[in-house]
Amino acid sequence: MRLNLLIAPPGWGKTYRLLEWIKYQRGPFIFVFPLRALCEEVYHSALEHRISCLCFRSRKDHELYLKLKPKLLISTPELLQNLRVEPSLYLLDEFHLYFYWGESFREGLLDFMEEHLANSPPVILLSATMSQKIQQKMSELFMSNYNQIRIWDFGNQKLRNDPSAVYVYFSKKNIMRSVFYDHSSGTKLIFCEYREEVKRLCEQLSKRGFKSISCVGGEAYEFSLKLRDEVQWDYIVATTVVSHGVNLPAISKVFFTYKVKNLDFYLQMVGRAGRDGSSFEVHTLTRIYFRTYLVMKGLWLGFLKSFGQRWRYYIYSYYES
């Protein structure tokens, strides 16, 4: 049995293309996502494609699935526990997270693989980016179950749309100054390392008159519902949770309040902007991925921007006094 891994940059359209393909196949298929918000988004997209489908929201839905027998089942891994079915094909999205999250705080992802993939069912693994280390772990995990692992690489660890400008800062203080003084149009996205910082920064932005919304782990589904309101948000403040496929409005700027060490996560975070082909800026403390000349230019741009903002602050303070 052969296992297929499809790697394509953020915004490439993996899910849409697969739904188009599923529409004309017999099935049944099981599409597995690590986030409930992604399940809901793909469920509504499948309905728009006129695919008979069911989205698991609890284990009580097992009986409903066995009764209705839809072509497509959409679920998180944990809700598939103890479900005895043999689909024509499993599709596992954001597969790199099964290792990053499964080996740290969400063991249910690894339990799912042991339960459902032990008998070598047909499967396609999907990821926007995957390091060689994770690919090696994947090969070792499935080596005994699959006689061939085929990798379809359409741009691993690459962006589909590069930023129009990159600003590289020396300190978090300079990044935050750029955030607070930015009154440009469009929705800006800020990534924070910790949940507490997300809530605190969102409150600070609201007090300064910005329309801001936040999202941390466990809130992705509720966050996606709020985004459906016809509100032009100035800032979205979040942890990495929104980098894993949750639909966002067009992003004009991406800010990072910390240095991101993991290239897989960094590219998915940057890749939340420019998905529609529009231009965007990156304001970062991280110097990985982008070419050397762009980083050097970014350091100079970041310095000039920080100097200009500091000078305006001193002038404002002088006249206020």
**Domain 165-320: which topology?**
Rossmann fold (3.40.50)
pLDDT tens for each residue of 122-153: 999 999 999 999 999 998 888 888 888 899 99
Q: Which of 291, 292, 299 is nearest to 168 (CA)?
A: 299
For residues 16-25, average pLDDT: 95
Residue 155 has a pLDDT of: 92
At residue 290, does pLDDT exceed 60? yes
Mean pLDDT of 292-308: 67
Question: What pLDDT shows up at residue 306?
Answer: 66
- Cβ pair 82, 101 in contact under 8 A: no
Looking at the predicted structure, is the pLDDT value of residue 315 above 60? Answer: no
Give the mean model confidence (pLDDT) for residues 211-218: 93
Q: How confident is the model at residue 213 (pLDDT cuts 50, 70, 90)?
A: very high
Average pLDDT on 69-95 reads 93
The phi and psi torsions of 165 (rounded to 5 degrees) equal -155, 145
Average pLDDT score over residue span 152-179: 90
Checking if the pLDDT of 302 tops 80, the result is: no
Q: What is the pLDDT of residues 221-267, one digit of tens each?
A: 899 889 888 789 999 999 999 998 788 999 999 999 999 999 999 99
Q: What pLDDT does 6 receive?
A: 96
- Rg of the chain on CA atoms, in Å: 22
Mean pLDDT of 192-209: 96
Report, as an integer, the average pLDDT of 51-63: 94
Predicted TM-score of the model (pTM): 0.87
Amino acid, res. 173: K
- Closest by Cα among 275, 241, 263, 291 to 10: 275
pLDDT confidence of 320, banded at 50, 70, 90?
A: very low
Q: Is the pLDDT of residue 81 over 60?
A: yes
Order of strands, edge to edge, in the sheet holding 123-127?
53-55, 72-75, 29-32, 89-92, 123-127, 2-7, 148-153
Supply the mean pLDDT for the chain: 88
- pLDDT of res. 321: 43
- pLDDT at position 294 is 67
As a CATH number, domain 2-153 is: 3.40.50.300
Mean pLDDT of 188-215: 96
Q: Is the pLDDT of residue 203 over 90?
A: yes
- pLDDT value at position 200? 96
The predicted pLDDT at position 288 comes to 81
Higher pLDDT, 231 or 307: 231
Sketch the domain layout of the chain as residue ranges: 2-153, 165-320
Percent of the chain residues topping a pLDDT of 70 = 91
Among 51-60, 190-199, 254-263, 304-313, which is the least confidently predicted range? 304-313
* DSSP 8-state class, residue 110: H
The pairing of strands 72-75 and 29-32 is parallel
Q: For the chain, where are the E strands, in sequence order?
A: 2-7, 29-32, 53-55, 72-75, 89-92, 123-127, 148-153, 165-168, 187-191, 212-215, 235-238, 251-256, 281-284
